[in-house]
Chains A and B, each alone.
Chain A
Amino acid sequence: MKPRERILSIIRGKMADKLPFFHVDHQLPRGEKEREARDRGMGVICYRPCYLEFMSNVEIVTKRDSNTLVRTYNTPVGKLTEVLVHGAGYGIAGFDRDWRGVLPRRKEFLVKTLEDYKVLRFMVENIHYKPYYFPVEDQRRRLGEDGVVVSDIPYEPLQRLLIEWVDWKRFYTDMTKNREIIDEIFELLEMKYEEELFPIAANSPSDIVRYGGNIDSTLVSPSMFERYYVPSYAKCAMTVKNNGKVLDVHMDGRLKFLADAIAKSQVDIVEALTPPPMGDIPVNEALSIWKDKIIWINIPSTISTLPGSSPHGVKKYLVEQLKLLIPGERAIVIASTENRVPEENLIAMTDVMERATLPLSRESVEKIRIDMSAANR
């Protein structure tokens, strides 16, 4: 099987020839080792937007100096400003990223006072979406059988408030004291998504739609998750599943306290589940809690990327994960959610994953372990 067929087999509930192993295209610097890994079976996942978002009656003015972007939203009811700081080489890697592939960091959020919500509300009222499928179509054609293209849509309405528009400290203060203001904006954006964005995603030329993400129970409590996120997933799922697509949500944080709510949700793919030591749910538990879901396992960056990580450590960790995954249904392995995995670690992952023939068994995983130990000697 080629990478695309491998991943689609798993998503459709069939057994693939090997456990799918992928890396995200914009986090994968090109080069000799990267080519070697791909020649040996590593696929590529490409996230592409399938929509254009614009605001009517809002003038957006961006000023830029050496490392700062100041974006002002001028509206008839007032203006809001956000300040973002970016790394060297901003823009050259595309997708709003610096040369390392890192997004700008938000130093100043749009909402700074209670009054600012009035302006934000106006902006949200004037947000609109229209289809823009070219990035997905173009990448599908280029990628061929080497991987999958995923249609990407923005953060969930509450996550957008929490991460993009309001600093979390202000957000939680306002959630406690002025919840109705937040609820109003949430509902407005949710409606826009339901009426305009989800149908666009449903008609996009890909098999998978990724909606929102960066879910972590430290930031989002179970009660918030159940009240604001799960219903939104249900609405999105209902629309995209009618067109034969699956719903993918990026959940790379600590999920133990959200596990039951995730189990009940309409999410098909729990993307970037990060097992211990960074996350708090081992992969075997995840498979057992989320019986109807596909799990994309993210090799933690403390294993894959952090200074001090090593090919030996990567192999040992991956073999341990394979043991927990036996027989290997419903699982896909992503090299990392980080930029710039050291190339020797990428090859170490490939060494293990090219041997992960399905179905996995105790014997086959033990053989991989022995092969890896022999290679280290």
Chain B
Amino acid sequence: MSAKLNVLDRLRDCIVSLDSECVRKTTKEAMEMDIAPAEIISEGISKGSEIIGRKFENGEYFLSELMIAGELMKEALRIVRSDVEMQSVRPVAKVIIGTVEGDIHDIGKNILIMFLESRGFEVVDLGVDVSIENFVRAVEEYRPQILAMSALMTHTAPVMGDIIGRLSEGGLRKKVRIIIGGAPTSPEFGEMIGADYQTTDALKGVEKCIEWTSAKDDAGS
């Protein structure tokens, strides 16, 4: 195995074993070996993130482990992004995300953010209890490729439909892919309100975002 592959595999393993010192040391080591920042992200950090995701899905890791992993991956990304070359590397895509008005649940949203960031997406987190106006304003201002919305209550879920309606009225709907999530949503509901994808699983959400950005079609580009 080449030294390059070896250090990236070690970085992946340090993330998976939630070892902060090892993550810092190995990320710096990879940088010193002149491995391209984009490769450190795709072959080290993202691979670690994928395994963390599987462990979460299988019930080996839970919220506390995810939070630690999220911090470690942020730290690794911070080190990588401090590199001059990295500053010229564009993110995979820009995602605007938030929990809709009337709702303060943010666990699923934050899990999605962690996985998206570790896979090279730029995420603008609008937070919780976000008004319709603020969602629309953020889409206008940031021009994201993807808008992600979350709700955990049956009476707040329809607000996502109102937001999509307002984006359509403002001529912004066709410029952005829309993913919705939260326990009280369903594929039928997603279709009914005009979302492009619905899921209650953060990992499937990340895969869909990757699929969209790989497809390089018109929407959101």
Contacts and interface: CB of A to CB of B under 8 A. Distances in A.
A339 B102 CA distance: 15
Given A168-B63, A221-B64, A307-B189, A278 B154 contact: no
A181 to B, nearest CB: 16
B104 A308 contact: no
B163 to A, nearest CB: 14
B110 A169 contact: yes
A172 B59 contact: no
B97 to A, nearest CB: 15
A222 interface: yes
Interface stretch (B4-12, B117-125, B178-186): B178-186
A169 B67 contact: yes
A75 to B, nearest CB: 26
A106 B104 contact: yes
B68 A302 contact: no
B104 A107 contact: yes
A181 B185 CA distance: 38
A87 B153 CA distance: 14
A277 B154 CA distance: 14
A105 B184 contact: no
A306 B157 contact: yes
Contact of A105 (B63, B67, B129, B192): B129
B154 A338 contact: yes
A370 interface: no
Which of A169, A218, A222 has the most chain B CB atoms closer than 10 A to its own CB? A218
B63 A221 contact: yes
A257 B102 contact: no
Size class of A's contact patch? 20 to 34
A222 B59 contact: yes
Contact of A306 (B108, B129, B184): B184
Contacts of A256: 59
A301 interface: yes
A121 interface: no
B185 A306 contact: yes
B102 A105 contact: yes
Interface string B85-114: 000000000000000001110011010000
A175 interface: yes
A157 B129 CA distance: 27
Interface string A273-285: 0000110000000
A175 B66 CA distance: 13
A321 interface: no
A172 B67 contact: yes
Contacts of B192: 307-308
A217 B64 CA distance: 12
A59 B102 CA distance: 29
Contacts of A173: 67
A175 B64 contact: yes
A340 B103 contact: no
B155 interface: yes
B142 interface: no
A301 B154 contact: yes
A219 B107 CA distance: 8
A158 to B, nearest CB: 13
Contacts of B154: 301, 305-306, 338
Interface string A201-229: 00000000000000001110110100000
A85 B130 CA distance: 13
B188 interface: yes
A100 B102 contact: no
Nearest to B184: A301
A242 interface: no
Interface in A301-352: 301-302, 305-308, 338-340
Interface in B147-172: 153-155, 157-158, 161
Interface in A214-267: 217-219, 221-222, 224, 256-257
B59 A217 contact: yes
Which of B104, B129, B153, B183 has the most chain A CB atoms closer than 10 A to its own CB? B183
Contact of B103 (A105, A176, A217, A219): A105
Contacts of A306: 154, 157, 184-186, 189
Contacts of A85: 129
B107 A218 contact: yes
6 contacts: A105-B104, A221-B63, A306-B157, A306-B189, A307-B192, A340-B155
Closest 10 interchain pairs by CB?
Answer: A221-B62, A257-B59, A302-B186, A301-B154, A105-B104, A305-B154, A172-B64, A308-B192, A338-B154, A172-B67
Given A219-B63, A307-B192, 8 more contacts: A168-B107, A219-B107, A277-B186, A306-B186, A308-B188, A308-B189, A338-B184, A340-B155
